[in-house]
Structure 1
Amino acid sequence: MTVALMWEARAVTGRGEELLAWARAQELTPGPMRRETFRAPQDRVLVITWWDADYDAVLPELPDPGGELVSRAAHRWRFEPVPDPT
């Protein structure tokens, strides 16, 4: 089974590039099958990782950045794939 973990944080105004660099520097051990990083307006950063694991498996996740870098705690969600209807 595949499970996707999403991590999203909003930087303090003007520190989006710093948050992006911080997120990119975070290593996950073991590493995911796939990892993508995105940015959006309002200094938001999103990281999605894909794992070959059960939905409720214990997996490494990105930590919360330091409080001086973000305007709120990071949000985290876990998703499982849904087959396309045929």
Structure 2
Amino acid sequence: MTVALMWEARAVEGRGEALLAWARGQELPVRPLRRETFRAPEDRVLVITWWDAAHDAELPELPEPDGDLASRAVHRWRFESLGTE
């Protein structure tokens, strides 16, 4: 089964590039099948990692960013892949 972990944070105003650089620099102790980073308006950063694991498996996730980077707590979601169409 493939599980996707989504990590999304919103930067403090004007700190979007710093948050993006911070997220890209975070190493996970285990390499996922795939990792992709996105940005969106309002200085939001999204990181999705894909894993060959059960939906409830213990998997490494990106931590909360430093307090001066994020304007709120990180949002996290976990999805099970249903394949491509």
Q: What TM bracket, shorter-length normalisation?
A: over 0.9
Higher alpha-carbon Rg: 1
| Structure 1 gaps, min length 5 | none
1:69 alignment counterpart: 69
Deviation, 1:82, is 2.1
Normalised TM-score (structure 2): 0.95
Identity within the alignment, %: 75
Give, as a single letter, the amino acid of the residue that structure 2 aligns with 1:68: D
Q: How does 1:44-63 map to 2 (within 5 A)?
A: 44-63=44-63
Which runs of structure 2 are paired with 1:1-86 in the superposition (5 Å)? 1-83=1-83
Q: Which amino acid letter does the alignment assign opposite residue 31 of structure 1?
A: R
Question: Paired residues, what number?
Answer: 85
Distance 1:83 1:35, change over 3 A: closer
C-alpha separation in 2, matches of 1:40 and 1:16 = 9
CA deviation vs aligned residue, 1:29-74 (integer Å, no higher than 9, x gap): 1110000000000000000000000000000000000111110010
Tell me the TM-score normalised to structure 1 length. Answer: 0.94
Alignment partners' CA distance in 1, 2:78 and 2:60: 12
Q: What code does the residue aligned with 2:26 have?
A: Q
Other structure's SS at 1:46 match: strand
Where does structure 1 differ by over 3 angstroms across 4 or more consecutive aligned residues?
none
Alignment root-mean-square deviation, CA: 1.2
- In structure 2, the residue corresponding to 1:27 is in which secondary structure? coil
Distance 1:81 1:21 in 2: 28
